[in-house]
Amino acid sequence: MTHKVLLLPGDGIGPEIAAQAARLLKACQEAGLDIEVEEGLVGGSAYDVHGEPLPAETLEKAKAASAILLGAVGGPKWDKLEDLSKRPEKGLLGLRKNLGLFGNLRPAMLYPQLASASSLKPELVAGLDIMIVRELTGGIYFGQPRGIEERNGERVGFNTYIYSESEIERIGRVAFEMAQKRGKKLCSVDKANVLEVTILWREVMERLAPEYPDVELSHMYVDNAAMQLVRAPKQFDVVVTGNMFGDILSDAAAMLTGSIGMLPSASLNESGQGMYEPCHGSAPDIAGQNVANPLAMMLSVAMMLRYSLNETAMAERIEAAVGSVLDNGLRTADIASEGTRRVSTVEMGDAVLAAF
Amino acid sequence: MTHKVLLLPGDGIGPEIAAQAARLLKACQEAGLDIEVEEGLVGGSAYDVHGEPLPAETLEKAKAASAILLGAVGGPKWDKLEDLSKRPEKGLLGLRKNLGLFGNLRPAMLYPQLASASSLKPELVAGLDIMIVRELTGGIYFGQPRGIEERNGERVGFNTYIYSESEIERIGRVAFEMAQKRGKKLCSVDKANVLEVTILWREVMERLAPEYPDVELSHMYVDNAAMQLVRAPKQFDVVVTGNMFGDILSDAAAMLTGSIGMLPSASLNESGQGMYEPCHGSAPDIAGQNVANPLAMMLSVAMMLRYSLNETAMAERIEAAVGSVLDNGLRTADIASEGTRRVSTVEMGDAVLAAF
Ligand SMILES: CC(C)[C@H](C(=O)O)[C@@H](O)C(=O)O
Ligand SMILES: CC(C)[C@H](C(=O)O)[C@@H](O)C(=O)O
């Protein structure tokens, strides 16, 4: 059966890195992978054409796809849009919500070849390999009521941080299963000393624990987790947390590696359908210059092959190709260091394809 | 006029470090400072005696004081308390709220003598000096409605992230004024691409900016701020943000210095009354062992002298004493490194008093 893959380049550097992913998909097809690739518009570039960050057509295509590859969305061009519902980010959030992509997997791992790129001392990050499991379709991102309104003669802004037991349980199971496949340690991050919603979160995690006796569950307050990531990141194996804390901590964790331009992510729903995207953003400041690092996007293809298409061998081929390109000393600007060869987005794409 | 100072040792290592602060206060009195020092119970230790983390008596004393010095609250002993309103943290939150201590100043600065304690590469943190201004009496910490209740056959937990224009303006002014006294750069941290409450936040900050033409205002999303703190912390001068983001970012920033045991903080209300406490927590794992670092607590005394009692000269004497003790190579366990002399809590207190 032919898998449908939807490629959504998005904004900023999105189209440039998506172009390299498209070449890689073609190479996979030539190597025997049975996929059909379509493209679509999302984010600011969709707004510019359709007046909507998530046009109905894109959503239709997304629903019909086995997997989605997304570049990045957003940029200063659309930051001034008064109507929040038209902003590029709503395209991304709409895809997550409409497809039920509640399980966000954000690995933060250090490539040995790039150890010096980290801002942390080498001994603290050597071999770093954390998996952050972030809930992606609930919490304060989607909670109601929300808005800005007049109360007692002045405006107030408000959002609602809310989780139900079933939402927590669902993401908890993803995290426990992930821990079983990895180092068997799961740290659940909350703010249970202040927020009721995270008291419930902690309680549900505790309730699940006996079903996964091989996994060691611990709890950490979010402020402490932010500290511990800076102090001694290797203490973590799998981390599970809600949408907002996950947004913050996964970015901090990714940056610990010094090479966020290398990190892919997956967002999965209950039927294994997934959206794959780089952890980095749309980087409008370097868009259109052929300098962005396409590797996170190309590794997102590998992650897609592994998690949604069950094509482990092909995924490994891509990862090995990336590894050998790094071994050969090729670097885009973001990961450049002394004694390496600086290459452009397209040249990096070329090199990965040549090694594939 | 005699200033009243209320000392609240609290839990964990709180009493040990508060004892060193008490000795320092006595030395200040002997040096001519006109203060009267009282003690009180707060947190778990208050709960154990009165069944309340913030007994009425403590609150009365706090209201009558010019300034409060607090050690730390919380510990595993009270973590299992079902009733959140009885937890140690509620003592702290109650003091903040009842005294209107909305302006939380959390400096993250690197002592040159401790440069090697940071987990970041030295060149990235040398000379680091960030001031985080955190709103402390609003936001999701205090927003209503909140709770855990049954809806559609299952429990949901919820909290409300809410700010009014006047709350935002008030903390914004503290931050702009702080920036005027420092490097004239203010970065406001929000999540205005997702949360309405922070759209209002950003709008109010923008509205204030023309009143402080010498300050350069910028905005950053919280996930990016967490990354930038790890990547290049010296880009920041003053950072202003809400209660929850401030909790997370100020801890991350403090940890960047590698010596959170050195950092004091101030929480001020509109009349300049303030509560002063270390940035670190109650560290129950090392409580009672005479190994905790008392310097953040002793520097909190200096911060109190500066901000609430207007005794700049005496504050500088304390800071100089701490500096000379570090110069002499004395270190508690948390900041120890090769070639320095390891001392206990009390010995560190002795040394500061001797140098004062
Ligand atoms: C673009 C933005 C809405 C998004 C988020 O906050 O989830 C991004 O930061 C991410 O982490 O994928
Ligand atoms: C103890 C806790 C309630 C408190 C907070 O979250 O504000 C602490 O983490 C702090 O930052 O002072």
Structural domains of chain B ordered from first start: 1-102+269-356 (3.40.718.10), 106-258 (3.40.718.10)
Q: Is the pLDDT score of B284 beyond 90?
A: yes
| Cβ of residue B44 lying under 6 Å from some atom of ligand 2 | no
pLDDT in tens, A41-74: 999 999 999 999 999 999 999 999 999 999 999 9
Closest CB to B161: pick one of A158, A199, A226.
A158
Chain A residue closest in CA terms to B154: A165
Output the pTM of the full model: 0.95
Average confidence (pLDDT) over B30-36:
97
- B84 — pLDDT class (breaks 50, 70, 90): confident
Residue B249: predicted pLDDT: 98
Rounded distance between C-alpha atoms, residue B51 and residue A272, angstroms: 50
A73-87, B180-194, B210-224: which range is least confident on average? Answer: A73-87
- Residue A277 CA to residue A264 CA, distance in Å, equals 6
How far apart (Å, rounded) are the C-alpha atoms in residues B219 and B335? 34
Measured between alpha carbons, how far is residue A345 from residues A65, A303, B63, B75, B130 in Å?
27, 20, 62, 51, 35
- Predicted confidence at residue A115, as pLDDT, reads 87
Are residues A256 and A118 in contact, defined by beta-carbon separation less than 8 angstroms?
yes
Please, are residues B58 and B49 in contact by the beta-carbon 8 Å criterion?
no
pLDDT in tens, A226-248: 999 999 999 999 999 999 999 99
pLDDT at B128: 96
pLDDT confidence of residue A189: 98
The answer on whether A43 is annotated among ligand-binding residues is no
Ligand 1 close to Cβ of residue B194 (< 6 A):
yes
Instruction: Point out the residue among B141, B157, B200 whose CB comes nearest to the CB of A163.
Output: B157
Would the CB of A194 count as within 6 Å of ligand 2? Answer: yes
CA distance A97 to A19: 26
Q: Which of B223, B227, B228, B245 to mutate to test the pocket of ligand 1 (most atoms within 8 A of CB)?
A: B223
Residues of chain A with pLDDT under 70: none
